[in-house]
């Protein structure tokens, strides 16, 4: 009788597989969202919907009433789990509806499940009378039972209405809170397909519509809507998180520049002082009877050099202040970054009686990444070193920044002569909110680590054998780049 190719089997199997795959997709997002409870419900719903389709298919090809009854009971359990998960998901994801509705739904459906599984002949079960064979419009035969409709059966229909009301309440809460997409996709989708299933199923039971039960497809549609929404939200959150992180990095950088503003002003003041004195000296020389033009020429040369010096600091500052935070994977030159940062910090370090020495490898390959972000890491490490030496005698305060080419990477180290780092503090240094400074926030080094790791590098700290601590970071070099002479 059965055709060798069964379209029904194909359709329902696809439904089983689709629900299951959507469930698995949700688990992956679930993991990224720190195992939020609402994902448990949507996952459970996907699994139950998958099983529901499987049992529906099994019912269609049952040959005796006992087997049919068994699958019917299992399917009822699945429907219960799907609806319960859906309502609980809606409660968490959209908003709380009336508690009594929730409780009523659970009670009615529990009675229905118990009735159908334990007392198939009892008062609240759907009583299966006999099996019949019906053909689809394409001529494939399937099994369906004739059912006796009892008054108690209308309880389930009432429960379906309550589910709709609850979903409506939840969606309304979500809508009011501005979560419109959620309300429409999740709330609206679920309501639409439950209504369709809720109308179709009684019609099949009553023998008016001569098709198999098609609850599975309604459920598949709901599961798909949920999955779509959850994944799109997770994706949006991830971009939001990234944007927030980058913005935080930029703000930290601006904060650091603010901290050293007095030092920067001092550093700009030096060339201005030299320019003014040079210009006034030149005026005096030119007013002499036989002005020494060579001297005046030297003065003008110095004025030009000092002007350029001030300009380069301002130029570097501008780059650090406004910068869109997309990681440019251009070649970055670490030595240039060190020079600029030391220029910006000269004033601040001078005010703190700190001698900054740089030992830059003469031929350093370029690294992959963003020079401004490397500057930020350097500035953070140098400022940390400066803070660490606030109790160190003036004449021993020293910071040495070294760059060394290593195998496939560039090593950068910042060494100070402060008190060093205790062994128990070392492992926590780069954790967020861990700080050794009295008024520190503990975000600086965590951000440094994130930047370095984003560049594919690593960062670590160690105590020096003599005095102080050294912070190191290594960045992978860009392949096939010309070595830039220092």
Partner 1 sequence: MSEDASTVFVVDDDESVGRALGRLLRGAGYAVEVYTSAEAFIDCSQPNGPACAIVDLAMPGMDGLELQARLVDENREIGVVFLTGHGDIPASVRAMKQGAVDFLIKPVDESCLLQAIEVALNRQQQIIASRMQSAALRQRFDSLSGRECEVLQLVVDGLLNKQIAAELGISEKTVKVHRSRVMHKTGARTAAQLARLFVAANTTTTNNI
Which residues of the shown chain bind partner 1 in the complex (CB under 8 A)? 262, 265-266, 269-278, 280-281, 284-285, 295, 299, 302, 305-306, 309, 347, 349-351, 353-355, 394-395
Which residue's entry shows tokens 């496939």? 408
Report in angstroms how near the CB of residue 298 gets to partner 1 at its nearest. 8
Report in angstroms how near the CB of residue 351 gets to partner 1 at its nearest. 5
Cα-Cα-Cα-Cα dihedral of 58, 59, 60, 66, to 10°? 120
Q: What span, in angstroms and rounded, lies between the C-alpha atoms of 41 and 23? A: 10
Q: At what angle do helices 215-259 and 444-454 cross, to 10 degrees?
A: 120
Tell me whether residue 266 or residue 458 sits nearer to partner 1 (CB atom). 266
Tell me whether residue 354 or residue 452 sits nearer to partner 1 (CB atom). 354
Report in angstroms how near the CB of residue 258 gets to partner 1 at its nearest. 16
* Strand order, beta sheet including 409-416: 355-360, 398-406, 409-416, 469-476, 458-463
β-pairing verdict for 355-360 and 398-406: parallel
Phi/psi-derived region of residue 159, left when phi > 0, alpha when psi is between -120 and 50, beta in every other case: alpha
Tell me whether residue 313 or residue 349 sits nearer to partner 1 (CB atom). 349
Tell me whether residue 398 or residue 449 sits nearer to partner 1 (CB atom). 398
Structure tokens at 185: 């996709």
Report in angstroms how near the CB of residue 280 gets to partner 1 at its nearest. 4
Tell me whether residue 60 or residue 313 sits nearer to partner 1 (CB atom). 313
User: Number of helices and strands (H, E) in the chain?
Assistant: 13, 11
Tell me whether residue 28 or residue 265 sits nearer to partner 1 (CB atom). 265
Tell me whether residue 296 or residue 436 sits nearer to partner 1 (CB atom). 296
Report in angstroms how near the CB of residue 334 gets to partner 1 at its nearest. 24
Report in angstroms how near the CB of residue 304 gets to partner 1 at its nearest. 11
Which residue's entry shows tokens 């406004």? 322
- The set of residues, in sequence order, having a beta carbon less than 8 Å from that of 253 and lying 6+ positions away, is 320, 376, 379
Which residue's entry shows tokens 């949507």? 42
β-pairing verdict for 363-364 and 355-360: unpaired
Report in angstroms how near the CB of residue 269 gets to partner 1 at its nearest. 4
Q: What span, in angstroms and rounded, lies between the C-alpha atoms of 400 and 389? A: 13
Tell me whether residue 7 or residue 265 sits nearer to partner 1 (CB atom). 265
Report in angstroms how near the CB of residue 279 gets to partner 1 at its nearest. 9
């Amino acid at each position: 009788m059965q055709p060798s190719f069964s379209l029904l089997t194909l359709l329902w199997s696809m439904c089983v597989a689709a629900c299951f795959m959507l469930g698995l997709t949700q688990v992956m997002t679930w993991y990224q969202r720190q195992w939020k409870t609402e994902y448990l419900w949507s996952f459970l719903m996907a699994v139950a919907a998958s099983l529901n389709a499987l049992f529906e298919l099994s019912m269609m090809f049952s040959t005796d009433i006992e087997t049919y009854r068994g699958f019917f009971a299992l399917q009822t359990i699945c429907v219960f789990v799907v609806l319960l998960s859906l309502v609980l998901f809606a409660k968490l994801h959209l908003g709380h509806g009336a508690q009594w509705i929730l409780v009523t739904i659970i009670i009615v459906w529990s009675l229905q499940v118990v009735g159908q599984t334990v007392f198939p002949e009892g008062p609240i079960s759907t009583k299966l009378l006999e099996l019949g064979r019906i053909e689809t419009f394409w001529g494939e035969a399937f099994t369906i039972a004739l059912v006796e409709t009892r008054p108690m059966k209308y309880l389930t229909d009432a429960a379906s209405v309550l589910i709709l009301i609850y979903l409506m309440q939840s969606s309304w809460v979500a809508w009011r809170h501005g979560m419109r997409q959620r309300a429409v996709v999740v709330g609206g989708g679920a309501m639409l397909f439950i209504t369709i299933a809720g109308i179709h199923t009684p019609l099949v039971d009553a023998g008016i519509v001569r098709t198999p039960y098609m609850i599975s497809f309604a459920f598949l549609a709901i599961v798909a809507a949920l999955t779509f929404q959850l994944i799109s939200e997770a994706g949006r959150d991830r971009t939001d998180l990234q944007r927030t992180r980058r913005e935080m990095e930029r703000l930290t950088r601006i904060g650091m520049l603010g901290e050293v503003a007095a030092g920067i002003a001092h550093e700009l003041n030096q060339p201005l002082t030299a320019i003014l004195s040079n210009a006034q000296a030149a005026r005096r020389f030119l007013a002499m009877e036989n002005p020494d033009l060579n001297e005046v020429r030297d003065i003008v040369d110095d004025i030009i050099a000092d002007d350029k010096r001030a300009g380069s600091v301002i130029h570097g500052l501008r780059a650090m202040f406004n910068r869109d935070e997309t990681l440019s994977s251009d070649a970055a030159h670490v030595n240039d970054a060190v020079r600029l940062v030391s220029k910006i910090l000269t004033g601040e370090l001078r005010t703190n009686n700190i001698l900054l020495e740089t030992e830059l490898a003469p031929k350093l390959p370029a690294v992959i990444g963003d020079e401004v972000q490397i500057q930020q890491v350097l500035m953070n490490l140098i400022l940390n070193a400066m803070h660490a030496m606030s109790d160190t005698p003036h004449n021993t305060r020293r910071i040495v920044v070294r760059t060394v080419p290593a195998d496939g990477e560039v090593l950068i180290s910042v060494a100070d002569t402060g008190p060093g780092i205790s062994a128990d503090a070392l492992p926590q240094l780069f954790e967020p909110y861990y700080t050794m400074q009295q008024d520190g926030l503990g975000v600086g080094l965590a951000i440094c680590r994130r930047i370095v790791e984003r560049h594919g590098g690593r960062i670590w700290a160690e105590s020096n054998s003599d005095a102080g601590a050294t912070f190191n970071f290594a960045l992978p070099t860009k392949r096939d780049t010309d070595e830039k002479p220092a």
